[in-house]
Structure 1
Amino acid sequence: MDNQQQDYISDRLNVLRLRFIERLRGELAYLSDFADQVRKGHVDELALNDCRQRLHKLAGSGGTFGFPSLGEFARDLEKRLKREQKALAAESDGQFDFLPVDENIADQLELLIGIADLDNPLSTERERSVQPDEELISHGMQVRLIVVLDATDQLASLPDELQKYGFSVETIESREGVLLASSADPCNAAAVLCSDASIEGVARWLEAHPRGAYQPPVPVVCIGQAENFDRRYHVAQHGARAFMSAPVDLPELVERLETLVQELAAGTKGRVMIVDDDRELAEHYCLVLKSAGIEAHAVSDPLTLLSELYAFEPELLLMDIELGAHSGVILARMIRFHARWLSLPIVYLSSEDDPERQLRALSGGADEFLVKPISEDYLIRAVQMRCHRARQLSELMNRDSLTRLLKHSVIKQEVERERQRCTRGDYSSVAVLLDIDHFKQVNDTWGHAQGDVVIRTLANLLRNRLRESDAIGRYGGEEFLVVLPHCEPSAALRLMSGILESFSELEFSSEEEVFHVTFSAGVAKINDFSAGDQIIEAADKALYERKRNGRNGVTLYTDNA
């Protein structure tokens, strides 16, 4: 995140804080008037419930906006009022217009008002726990790797080999355990590769160059000869995320790097929807999460919740259990009516701290409870972990086990979704269908295990060369389907031709024999069709036109294809 964005978020947080203080003045005036009504005996059930809900909001937002004592006192008073309300309801049985509320409630409300004045944060500067975030690595074009070269020469040929797979590779030297890397910065690297002889020096170097707040450490892949327990333990002790035996199996290494890059990119991101009828508090949480690179969207009106879910498609839903006239517990149950949202993690973010009530609330369809007020640091880390876990579960359901690309049904849905998006947005998008040339011959000659290596290699190359916004799926067998948003057909032809050239240069080996593989591709402009199936059929026609003309190339669909 750049400084301009960080300044904007900081300014917005200050505006929300001042807006809360203005609102607090109105709340305190209301509570003072309510205390007078209690003493006069003019409180009905509706007014009592309204006061309790206002205290519930203050309990959740007070600490967030700099009034921690107010928030704690409001929480205790809300519980007291809840017990009072329950007892009075049983006693009156609807017989009285006004309820005989204990006057001690009025005394407690006046104490609450006094605490707010004593704890006014306008005279002090509240510390922020969120630090400016460094730009996260983008898993797409030119993933940056750092290869550490040392006297063992185990990794000497690795930079050139990895560049063929589309990685951007920087090398640094290690002499006697000291890295000669005065100008190299590991913070925006996707991974560091080193021999087991250099692992201690690499660990010291990374420790001296920590990443920004809320970012995971740079993963280290270690390559070495020794496979005994003590050596592996030593490597793991110094922070390595993977160990591979030399000479390294290149396709296996690339696949491991792709896995680490995906985990790294996913570890700090996420899409979170916050449902809270306190608009300032909801916006505050959104800004805090955005400052850490998490995409957040606030919903204050429960009536729009379902439409907002389909529009935003969150990975995590944070929701209060009291939303004015609506219950978050019932809303969670209602969300689960829709098969699309059965796996969506729902976490209650509420000032309710009674364990029994929390359990009853969770039985309605939610997964976890976070108690307000919640520190900004804790909120960010809690959301990051839950989004990462949600993404892992989604990958298990939606990803092909061999390639980690989208499954057939999911990539087909993505074609239709992009058709709808580019129609609404009035921009060009493209679909590409790829097929590995003579793949049956690869399996028959080199075996199915080598065939799997070829498929995984092409999947990794596509993932590395395409943008994060592009969708890539395994359409079937040796076929791949790619969706390229905001892309003209001419640009897609150049892009896929470049990927084909890189793929054809890769060497596959089996029993000391080397072979090369190519692919054919068909390109179709998504905007030219009215249904997803029509788009895929057009790309398929262009693909087979390419095969009829000699394979090993890319063809654009035309009406004559």
Structure 2
Amino acid sequence: MTNTAVDQLQKRLRLLQERFFERARGDIETLSGFASLIDQQQLPQSELDKCYQLLHRMAGSSGTFGFPELGQAARAIEKQMKSCRESAADSGASAHDVVSVSVELADELRHLARLLEKAPEMTSAAGAQAGAPAAADSYDGAHGMQVNVMALGHSIDYLADLVKSLAVYGFFCESGSIDRPSDVAARLTELNNASILLCVDSELGDVMDFREQYLPKAEHRRFPVVCVGHEDSFETLYRVAEQGATAYFCEPLDMLELAERIESLALERGSRPQGRVLIVDDDQELGEHYCLVLKQAGIIARRVSDPADLMSELSAFEPDLVLMDVQLRDYSGVTLARLIRYEPRWLGLPIVYLSSEDNPENQLDALSKGADEFLVKPVTDDYLVRSVRIRCYRARQLSDLMNRDSLTGLLKHSLIKQEVDRELARCRRAGHTSCVVMLDLDHFKRVNDTWGHGQGDIVIRTLANLLRNRLRESDVIGRYGGEEFLLILPDCEPAVAVKLIEAIGKSFAELVFWAGDDSFQVTLSAGVALINDFPVSDQAIEAADQALYQRKRGGRNGVSLYHPSLRGIKV
């Protein structure tokens, strides 16, 4: 974040802290009134409930705004009030019946005012907490991520041919000398993509020293190191692992396997730890604080204060994670979690309770009714961000397992079709031009019949990797079925789309596949259609399919653009 953005954020956090302070003063005045009723033994059940809810809110938010002693004291009283509520409920007391509350609690309620007033002057927006981590420089690993391979060493002559071979797979490859570490580190910092370091095993130690001294040390920012060598003995593998290499490949190198490993490492490092978080909390200041802290860290956050809006917000926002208080005035977060699970689409949505409830038995009981985890308030900003990042990342991993093709990692048939629907709707709203591309491998049956289905799978995976590396982050890729792929190119003119796919087809045709001592090459054909020309997405897909058929009939190994005259063409 820029200095100006940080300053603005700190001002907003400071404003929230001031608002909390004023609200706490008002709440404590109200609690003092409850204390007077307790002194007179005239506290009705309805007022006891209000007292408990105020204490619950104060216990959960005070620590976040720099008043930890106030929060601890409020929590202690809250627990005693909870016992009083439960006793009253067991006795069948009505809302107007007077409940028995120890007069000692009245003094404890009055003591809260002294804790608030004697708190240190508010000098920072985050109170006693350290600042939350800033947004990480990370990239969406789903597709469209340009992977950079940096060959490092004192001399990279040995790696020169390997770098050229990797470039064919769509990686952006370059070399650097660790004898000029500052220059290499500056270059890696400039690159706006995921970077993988490549070296030979004899220079691994020096490369690891360079990474340790000159590159960022935060774990999720570590640059993976891929090492190549001549031996595959246990001693060699152990030495390389001990020095810290992320992966090791022994000659003769399997280029496809190496390319796929680099791709997977880039996805692992580049996959955004950020996500989309829906915060369900009736404490306005605390909810806004959480949103600001998460947004500072690059996480998209939205707050829901009225439980009645929860289901509509879920559908509109489609979060990766829900953070929800257990008690939201008259509503129970536990009941809301059960309600969320009524809809099949939300059965796998992670729900994390964020509450001041610290009784393990009560936590387990709450978790058994629909949620996944418990975070006890107050949580530091840093802990909140780290917890959310980990859970969002894991949620996206599980989502990918369900929504992506197991062979290629691309979107499945039904989901890529849904994306065409969405893109058509975006085109209508924004007025931009987008294309859909149907892409097919030429003579693929011959590949399977001649070289076997295992080799056929390698060809399909290789094309998937090439598409991921050559397309933009905004583009969408899916495996339509078998050897067919469906691409969505937002904000892209047809002529540009044709040129792009032609270039990808040329690169793919240059790749050599090996089956034992034999080698073969494969070409591809594609059809391009303008999404905007069709009222429904299925017609746009069909048009791209017809353009593909025209290319097949015209000799394959190329790209055709749909024209209305092609309507109805089949092979």
1:183 and 1:335 map into 2 onto residues whose CA distance is: 53
Structure 2 residue aligned with 1:482: 487
Give per-residue Cα distances to partners, 1:468-515, cap 9 Å, x unaligned. 332211111111111223333333223222222222222323344443
* 1:232 Cα offset (Å): 1.6
Q: Is the 8 A contact 2:433 2:492 kept in 1?
A: yes
* 1:141 Cα offset (Å): 5.0
Q: Is the 8 A contact 2:273 2:389 kept in 1?
A: yes
The alpha-carbon distance between structure 1 residues 268 and 89, as it changes in their structure 2 partners (threshold 3 A), is: closer
Structure 1 residue aligned with 2:563: 558
Query: Helix, strand or coil: the match of 1:78?
Result: helix
The alpha-carbon distance between structure 1 residues 430 and 6, as it changes in their structure 2 partners (threshold 3 A), is: farther
Indicate which of 111, 127, 130 corresponds to 1:128.
130
2:474 and 2:312 map into 1 onto residues whose CA distance is: 23
Structure 2 residue aligned with 1:162: 166
The alpha-carbon distance between structure 1 residues 435 and 531, as it changes in their structure 2 partners (threshold 3 A), is: same
Structure 2 residue aligned with 1:181: 181
| Runs of 4+ residues over 6 Å off in structure 1 | none
* 1:238 Cα offset (Å): 2.4
Q: Is the 8 A contact 2:46 2:96 kept in 1?
A: no
Structure 1 residue aligned with 2:532: 527
Q: Is the 8 A contact 1:137 1:190 kept in 2?
A: no
The alpha-carbon distance between structure 1 residues 134 and 342, as it changes in their structure 2 partners (threshold 3 A), is: closer
* 1:361 Cα offset (Å): 0.6
The alpha-carbon distance between structure 1 residues 328 and 387, as it changes in their structure 2 partners (threshold 3 A), is: same
Deviates more, 1:34-43 or 1:68-77: 34-43
Q: Is the 8 A contact 1:149 1:156 kept in 2?
A: no
1:377 and 1:32 map into 2 onto residues whose CA distance is: 34
Q: Is the 8 A contact 1:329 1:361 kept in 2?
A: yes
Q: Is the 8 A contact 1:274 1:298 kept in 2?
A: yes
Deviates more, 1:511-520 or 1:217-226: 511-520
Indicate which of 172, 178, 200 corresponds to 1:195.
200
1:5 and 1:513 map into 2 onto residues whose CA distance is: 59
1:121 and 1:469 map into 2 onto residues whose CA distance is: 47
Indicate which of 405, 408, 414 corresponds to 2:410.
405
2:8 and 2:95 map into 1 onto residues whose CA distance is: 55
Structure 2 residue aligned with 1:37: 37
1:505 and 1:61 map into 2 onto residues whose CA distance is: 61
* 1:138 Cα offset (Å): 5.3
* 1:266 Cα offset (Å): 2.2
Structure 1 residue runs without a partner (length 5+): none
Structure 2 residue aligned with 1:364: 369
Structure 2 residue aligned with 1:83: 83
Deviates more, 1:341-350 or 1:214-223: 214-223
2:396 and 2:243 map into 1 onto residues whose CA distance is: 28
Q: Is the 8 A contact 2:528 2:562 kept in 1?
A: yes
Structure 2 residue aligned with 1:243: 248
2:225 and 2:167 map into 1 onto residues whose CA distance is: 18
Q: Is the 8 A contact 2:403 2:411 kept in 1?
A: yes
Give per-residue Cα distances to partners, 1:100-127, cap 9 Å, x unaligned. 4322221111112211112244256645
**1:197 maps to amino acid:** S
* 1:445 Cα offset (Å): 3.3
Deviates more, 1:185-194 or 1:280-289: 185-194
The alpha-carbon distance between structure 1 residues 465 and 22, as it changes in their structure 2 partners (threshold 3 A), is: farther
Query: Helix, strand or coil: the match of 2:183?
Result: coil
Alignment of 1:110-509 (within 5 A): 110-123=110-123, 126-137=128-139, 139=141, 140-150=144-154, 154-174=158-178, 179-185=179-185, 186-187=188-189, 189-211=194-216, 215-266=220-271, 268-509=273-514
1:495 and 1:485 map into 2 onto residues whose CA distance is: 13
Q: Is the 8 A contact 2:405 2:479 kept in 1?
A: yes
**2:103 maps to amino acid:** E
The alpha-carbon distance between structure 1 residues 493 and 301, as it changes in their structure 2 partners (threshold 3 A), is: farther
Deviates more, 1:335-344 or 1:180-189: 180-189
1:403 and 1:95 map into 2 onto residues whose CA distance is: 61
* 1:434 Cα offset (Å): 0.5
The alpha-carbon distance between structure 1 residues 6 and 504, as it changes in their structure 2 partners (threshold 3 A), is: farther
Query: Helix, strand or coil: the match of 1:192?
Result: strand
Q: TM-score, normalised by structure 2?
A: 0.91
**1:130 maps to amino acid:** A
* 1:154 Cα offset (Å): 4.5
Q: Is the 8 A contact 1:522 1:555 kept in 2?
A: yes
Give per-residue Cα distances to partners, 1:239-268, cap 9 Å, x unaligned. 222222223211111111111111112252
Q: Is the 8 A contact 1:66 1:121 kept in 2?
A: no
Structure 2 residue aligned with 1:74: 74
Structure 2 residue runs without a partner (length 5+): 567-571
Q: TM-score, normalised by structure 1?
A: 0.93
Query: Helix, strand or coil: the match of 1:182?
Result: helix
Q: CA RMSD in A?
A: 2.3
Give per-residue Cα distances to partners, 1:338-372, cap 9 Å, x unaligned. 11111111111111111111111111111111111
1:412 and 1:352 map into 2 onto residues whose CA distance is: 44
The alpha-carbon distance between structure 1 residues 280 and 361, as it changes in their structure 2 partners (threshold 3 A), is: same
Deviates more, 1:185-194 or 1:449-458: 185-194
* 1:213 Cα offset (Å): 5.2
Give per-residue Cα distances to partners, 1:197-235, cap 9 Å, x unaligned. 222112111111343757341111121222222222222
In the alignment, structure 1 residue 51 sits paired with structure 2 residue 51 = yes
The alpha-carbon distance between structure 1 residues 92 and 318, as it changes in their structure 2 partners (threshold 3 A), is: closer
Q: Is the 8 A contact 1:6 1:132 kept in 2?
A: no
Structure 1 residue aligned with 2:24: 24
Identity rate, percent: 52
Q: Is the 8 A contact 2:64 2:378 kept in 1?
A: yes
* 1:62 Cα offset (Å): 0.9
**2:467 maps to amino acid:** L
The alpha-carbon distance between structure 1 residues 240 and 291, as it changes in their structure 2 partners (threshold 3 A), is: farther
